[in-house]
Structure 1
Amino acid sequence: MRALVQRVSEARVSVAGEVLGEIGPGLLVLVCAMQGDGPAQAETLAGKIARLRIFRDAEGRMNRSLLDTGGAALVVSQFTLAADTSRGNRPGFSSAAPPEEGRQLYEAFADALSALGPKVERGRFGADMSVALVNQGPVTIWLDTEA
């Protein structure tokens, strides 16, 4: 699975003007299931993100995790993280998991992250969503369970 994680002071996701999920300080997690991924990758990625030390400690160093800070996570599915731009200018997405598998793994990831303790808000899988955020730092980290 792939994820783009952004440390935020606030974030929200909406569909057609309806807010589906909204958080204060925490992480915006854009996530994509890839071909061959399964529940183990979803669980591994959730654990890595929950424990990723990218929040400032008392000395101002990035030394605290989402679990340490009690922050929340906004989890949004984004199949475009599977983009392959190696041939031409039009990205291909064939390495993304098929839609139903992707939906199941997206839900498994969000459930696994929630089970670790953080409040988890979600977007709507497959929907045309609008995401608004204030990236704090800015801090943006790319994660891939295959890397």
Structure 2
Amino acid sequence: MRAVIQRVTQASCTVDGVSTGEIKQGLLVLLGIEDDDTDREAEWVAHKLVNLRIFSDEAGLMNKSVQDIAGNILLISQFTLIAQTRKGNRPSFIRAAKPNRAQPLYQAMGDRLSVLLSKQVQMGVFGADMKIDLRNDGPVTIILDTKE
């Protein structure tokens, strides 16, 4: 499982011009699910996301988590994060989980995060052509990979 985490002051997702999720301060999380990912990886990523200290404290140091600041999360499924690009110029997505496997894990991740944050996590639409708008804060962008 791979996640690209961006600290944002705002982020939103639209599908066919209709908003599916919108947040103010918090995290935009792009989530790629591999074919061998399980609930174990999802649990680890969820706990890491809510506890990762990437928000500034009163001294300007990154010492606060999204949970500490009562921030929000916008979770977007993005199978392209699993692309293999070593050979040739066309990315291979062979390691990306098939939709029947990835969609339940994506939904479970949203549910886990909602429980951990004690608030509804905003989400994109699995498999849809989504338009994501964001204002990266910092910029701060972190990559989590359960394989590393």
Report the TM-score when normalising by structure 2.
0.97
- RMSD between superposed Cα atoms in Å: 0.8
- Describe how 1:114-129 pairs up with structure 2 within 5 A: 114-117=114-117, 118-129=119-130
> Which residue pairs with 2:46 in the alignment?
46
How many residue pairs match? The answer is 147
- Describe how 1:127-142 pairs up with structure 2 within 5 A: 127-142=128-143
The alignment partner of 2:94 has SS state of: coil
Q: C-alpha distance in 1, partners of 2:54/2:120?
A: 17
Gaps of 5+ in 1: none
> Which residue pairs with 1:24 in the alignment?
24
CA distances 1:12-62 after superposition (whole Å, capped 9, x unpaired): 000010000000000000001111111111111000011000000000001
Q: C-alpha distance in 2, partners of 1:146/1:51?
A: 19
- Structure 2 residue identity aligned to 1:76: I
Gaps of 5+ in 2: none
- Describe how 1:74-113 pairs up with structure 2 within 5 A: 74-113=74-113
Report the TM-score when normalising by structure 1.
0.98
The alignment partner of 1:116 has SS state of: helix
Hey, which bits of structure 1, 4+ residues long, moved more than 6 A? none
Q: Identity percentage over the alignment?
A: 50
Q: C-alpha distance in 2, partners of 1:33/1:110?
A: 13
